[in-house]
Amino acid sequence: MNEKEIIARRVALELKRGDLVNLGIGLPTMVANYLPSDAGISFQSENGIIGMSALPDPGLAGADLTDAGGSPIGALPGACAFDSALSFALIRGGHLDVTVLGGLQVDEEGQLANWMVPGKMVPGMGGAMDLVSGAKRVIVAMTHTAKGAPKIIKKCTLPLTSVRRVDLVVTEMAVIQPTEEGLVLLETAPGVTVDQVIAASEAKLLIPKVPGVMGIAA
C-alpha cells in the first residue's frame, strides 16, 4: 500500500452517511475509491454537479459531463446540475459538509497554504479559497514531507489559502487535529512511532498520552 493509498483510506473513514463532500483533484479524488457504493455520501464537483460517479466505461463518456479537472465522469440516479454561482453558494453557504484538499503547508495555527509557490508555480486558487472558507469540515490530505522537507511547520511561508483553521490533517504517517491549543497528534500510522512523526514535522505537536493507531478503510 503506497503513501497515497494509506492517506485516502484513512480519510474515507471521516465521511458519514448523508454528507455532501467535495474532493479536490489528485490524491483527494482517490478517497471515493475506498467507500462502499451504499455509503450514502453525495459528491459535489465545483464545476456544477452533485451525484458524480466514476465513468463506468471510457466508451460511455459525454462531453458535457466532466469533473473539475475536465475529465469525463458519470452521474448517479438523483444527480443534479447547476451553474457556478449555485455551486459556490453550496460551498460558501455552509451546505458542504466536508472538503478534502491537498496541501503544501499546514502550520501550528492550523492554517493551510496550498495554491501557489511564488515565482515557481502559480496555478491559481480555483475553488480552494472558497472551499476552505466555507466547508463545515476541512480535511487536508497530503504527504507528511516533500522531498524530505517537513510540510507541517511552525508558520506557513507560502501564501495562505484561508485564515480559517482546518479541521484535520491526514498524512501517510499520522492524523493531526489542529486546535486552539495547537496541533494534536491523534493517531500514528501502523509501524510509525510518535518520535518518527515528531522528527518529520517542524511544527510542535501536542502528544496525548496514548495516540491511536491510524485506521484504514477496507
Partner 1 sequence: MSKVSSVAAAVEQIPYGAVLMIGGFMGAGTPPLLIDELVRQGKKNLTVIANDTARPGVGIGKLIDAGLVKKVIASHIGTNPQTQKLMIACELEVDLVPQGTLAERVRAGGSGLGGVLTPTGVGTTAGEGKKTVELNGTTYLVEEAIKADIALISARSADYSGNLRYSLTSRNFNPLMALAAELVIAEPNEIVPIGCIEPDAVVTPHVLVDVIVAKGAEK
180 is catalytic: no
What minimum distance in Å lies between the beta carbon of 85 and partner 1?
Answer: 4
- Give the number of other CB atoms < 10 A from CB of residue 33: 12
Q: Is 208 helix (H, G, I), strand (E, B) or coil?
A: coil
Nearest to 66 by CA among 74, 56, 76, 77: 74
Residue in 3, 5, 46, 181 annotated catalytic: 46
Q: What residues form DSSP beta bridges with 105? A: 113
Total of chain residues touching partner 1, rule CB under 8 A: 55
**Which residues make beta-bridge pairs with 101?**
140
122 binds partner 1 per the rule CB under 8 A? yes
Residues 133-152: x where in contact with partner 1 by CB under 8 A, - otherwise, as a string: xx------------------
Restricted to residues 8-67, the positions that interact with partner 1 (CB under 8 A) are 20, 42, 45-51, 62-67
CB of 143 to partner 1, least distance (A): 19
CB neighbour list of residue 159: distance below 8 Å, 6 or more residues apart? 113, 115, 116, 118
d(CA 34, CA 9): 6
State the residues that interact with partner 1 by CB under 8 A: 20, 42, 45-51, 62-70, 75, 77-95, 121-130, 133-134, 159-163
